[in-house]
Amino acid sequence: SMLLLALLLLGLLSPAGCPRTEPLSGSSDEPLFRGADRYDFAILVPAGTSECFWQFARQGGNFFFSFEVQRATGVATSRNILAMASDPSGFQLGASQDVRGQINFLTKETGFYQLCLDNRQNHFGFMQVYLNFGVYYDGFNAEKEQLAERKQLNDTLDAIKVSIWKLQGHIFHMWRFYNFARMRKGADSFLLESNYHYVNWWSMAQSCVIVLSGVLQLYFLKRLFKVQSSSKPRC
């Protein structure tokens, strides 16, 4: 029972609201669990709070971080959100405060890179944000490319490997463009749905106002032509 109580206290004292995409392994003897190299998902950022994530990257990689606010609730009409990216040392590498944006940089050290979304300016509603972030590595540098070109003349297998590397790079960039389209599609869908409900509610309200004004006008016109009955007999 004491062990369960200690675990419960540790869970309550641990920081909340900042999930890691790359959790550390439980034992030091086991290798570090790095997870996937790229992620894409939507998240709800509550009002007045911030959400942070960590992505593992090796040195010499190309880090990309794209986001788009799909919908926002509350009194404020602004859909801008603050997105920030920091290196493993805590140094800020880039920031963007807009409806949509992207932060790209080269990873100069190996470690966990922090990505944060700040919704503290909106105190009355949440924001649904679509995220697409990760890291990719070039299959070969200039020297390897020259070596591969030389081997293409003598070894067909090396030529096939180089072609596969290039094809994987093109597929990855097409995947990124596809995710950009998914971001815009989701945001446009929520915007059309909100406009649809807005038009319906305003049409109903205006119809009720028109009917009510007609009834009131008819009532007052009848009051103008109403004859007061007198109790005195006429001559």
Residues 66, 106 within the same domain:
yes
User: Looking at per-residue confidence, does 189 or 86 come out higher?
Assistant: 86
pLDDT, tens digit, 9 for 90 and up, residues 11-40: 434 444 455 554 544 444 555 556 678 888
**Which contacts qualify for 140-149: CB closer than 8 Å, 24 or more apart?**
140/165
* Domain closes at, from 105, 138, 171: 138
With respect to residue 117, please indicate whether it lies within any of the assigned structural domains: yes
203 within domain boundaries: yes
- Tallying the residues shown for the chain, one arrives at 235
Mean pLDDT confidence for 36-45: 85
Whether the per-residue pLDDT at 166 is higher than 90: the answer is: no
User: pTM for the whole thing?
Assistant: 0.57
Residues 116 and 177 both lie in one domain: no
The per-residue pLDDT for 65 is 92
Q: What is the pLDDT of residue 99?
A: 87
pLDDT > 70 fraction of the chain, expressed in percent and rounded: 71
* 95 found inside a domain: yes
pLDDT value at position 148? Answer: 56
> Which of 69-78, 102-111, 144-153, 189-198 is the most confident on average?
102-111
Q: Is residue 74 included in any domain, yes or no?
A: yes
Whether residue 101 is found in the same domain as residue 39: yes
| Complete DSSP assignment for the chain | -HHHHHHHHHHHHS--S---SSPPPSSTTSPP----SEEEEEEEE-TT-EEEEEEEE-TT-EEEEEEEEEEE-SS-----EEEEEE-TTS-EEEEEEESEEEEEEE--S-EEEEEEEE-TT-SS--EEEEEEEEEE--S--HHHHHHHHHHHTT-HHHHHHHHHHHHHHHHHHHHHHHHHHHHHHHHHHHHHHHHHHHHHHHHHHHHHHHHHHHHHHHHHHHHHTPPPP-SSPP-
Supply the pLDDT for residue 11. 45
List the CATH number of the domain containing 93.
Answer: 2.60.120.680
Amino acid type, 27: S
Rounded to whole angstroms, the Cα distance separating 61 from 196 reads: 44
Asked if residue 7 is part of any domain, the answer here is: no
Position 146 scores a pLDDT of 59
Residue 171 maps to a domain: yes
> Is 123 domain-assigned?
yes
| Domain carrying residue 166 | 156-220
- Is the per-residue pLDDT at 2 higher than 60? no
Looking at the domain assignment, is residue 161 inside a domain? yes
Q: Which pLDDT band, with edges at 50, 70 and 90, does 155 fall under?
A: low
62 touches 138 (CB < 8 A) = yes
Listed residue (109, 113, 130, 119) closest to 49, CA to CA: 119
